[in-house]
Amino acid sequence: VLRPQFVPGLPDEAEAFRQAVRQPIGTGPLAEKIGPGDRVAVVIADGTRALPSDRLLPWLFAELSHVPPEQITIVIGTGTHRANTPEEIEAMVGPEVARRYRIVNHNAYDDATMTVVRPGQGERPPLAMNRAYVEADRRILIGFIEPHFMAGFSGGYKAVFPGVADLASIMHYHRAEMIGHPRSTWGVLEGNPTQALIRENGSAVPVDFLINVTLNHRQQITGFYCGDVIAAHEEGCRVVKQTAMAPCPHPYPLVITSNSGHPLDQNLYQSVKGMCAAAEVVAEGGEIIITARCNDGFPAHGNFAKMLRAYGSAQEMLDAIHAPGFHMLDQWQVQKLAQVLVKARVALYSELSPDQVR
- Supply the residues annotated as catalytic: 81, 148
Is-cis flag, bond preceding 162, omega within 30?
yes
Q: State how far the alpha carbon of 301 is from the alpha carbons of 116, 128, 261, in Å.
A: 26, 23, 21
Cβ within 8 Å of residue 285, ≥6 positions away:
343, 344
Exposed, middle or buried by CB within 10 Å (0-12, 13-18, 19+), for 242? Answer: exposed
H/E element, 268: helix 268-279
Measured between alpha carbons, how far is 104 from 131 in angstroms, rounded to an integer?
Answer: 10
Taking residue 48's Cβ as centre, other Cβ atoms within 10 Å add up to: 20
Whether the Cβ atoms of residue 326 and residue 176 lie closer than 8 Å to each other: yes
Q: How far apart are CA 224 and CA 145, in angstroms?
A: 10
DSSP state of 54: H
CA atoms of 26 and 275, how far apart (whole Å)? 36
Nearest to 72 by CA among 106, 92, 47, 97: 97
